[in-house]
Amino acid sequence: MELLVRLGHFFEQARSDADYATFANELRRHQVSYYIYFVSTGNMNFVMANDEVVSVKSARGLLRVRAEASHCLARAAVIRHFARAINFEQYCRDLASAGVFKWIVDLEEETRHYWSKDNTLLYKECLMPP
C-alpha cells in the first residue's frame, strides 16, 4: 500500500512540476521497469522488476478517445506538452483527440510509445530528449 501511495505521489508531482527526469529516477529507484498510462481514464499500471503490477486509479473524469488515430496529431500534442506550451490536462485531451489510447514508458530503453485503441504504434520518442 505504501508503494501505491508513493507511485501516485511521484506521478502527481511530475505532472505539476513537469520534472520528468526526477520522476523517472524515482521510479527506477523503486524498481519500476515500465509504466502504462491510460489516456481515457488516467489510470496507471506500474510494472515492477519482479513483474508485479501496481495499479493506480485516477479520480479524473473519463476522456473519449477518438476512434480514428492520427500520428501527426499525437506528435504535435507531445511536442507542445514537452515544450511546456500546454499543461498535462490539455496534453491528455489532445492525445485523446489524436486517438491515443495509452502510452507506455520503458525506463530501461528510456522510450515512450503512444498507442491507439487497436494497438497501432502512433509515435515513439526518447524519454529524455537530447
Determine the pLDDT at residue 37: 95
* pLDDT at site 127: 78
Distance of CA 102 to the CA centre of its chain: 7
In angstroms, the CA 7 to CA 13 distance is 10
Distance CA 27, CA 71 (A): 28
Mean per-residue pLDDT for 67-90?
Answer: 93
Q: Are strands 102-106 and 44-48 parallel, antiparallel or unpaired?
A: unpaired
Taking the domains of the chain in order of start, what are their residue ranges? 2-126
> Nearest 5°: CA angle at 79, between 16 and 91?
45
Per-residue confidence (pLDDT) for residue 24, from 0 to 100: 84
Interval 60-74: pLDDT, tens: 899 999 999 999 999
Helix (H) or strand (E) holding 22: helix 20-29
In this structure, what C-alpha cell is assigned to residue 82?
A: 514537452
- The answer to whether residue 123 scores a pLDDT higher than 90 is yes
- The mean pLDDT of 86-92, rounded to a whole number, is 92
Domain spanning 2-126 has what CATH number?
A: 3.30.1810.10
What pLDDT digit, counting tens, does each position of 2-53 carry? 766 676 666 666 666 656 777 888 889 889 999 999 999 999 999 999 999 9
Looking at per-residue pLDDT, the higher value among 7 and 108 belongs to: 108
Scanning 30-119, the segments in alpha helix (DSSP H) are: 71-82, 88-97
Q: So what's the pLDDT on residue 4?
A: 60
- pLDDT confidence of residue 73: 97
Cα-Cα end-to-end distance for the chain: 36
pLDDT at 130 over 60: no
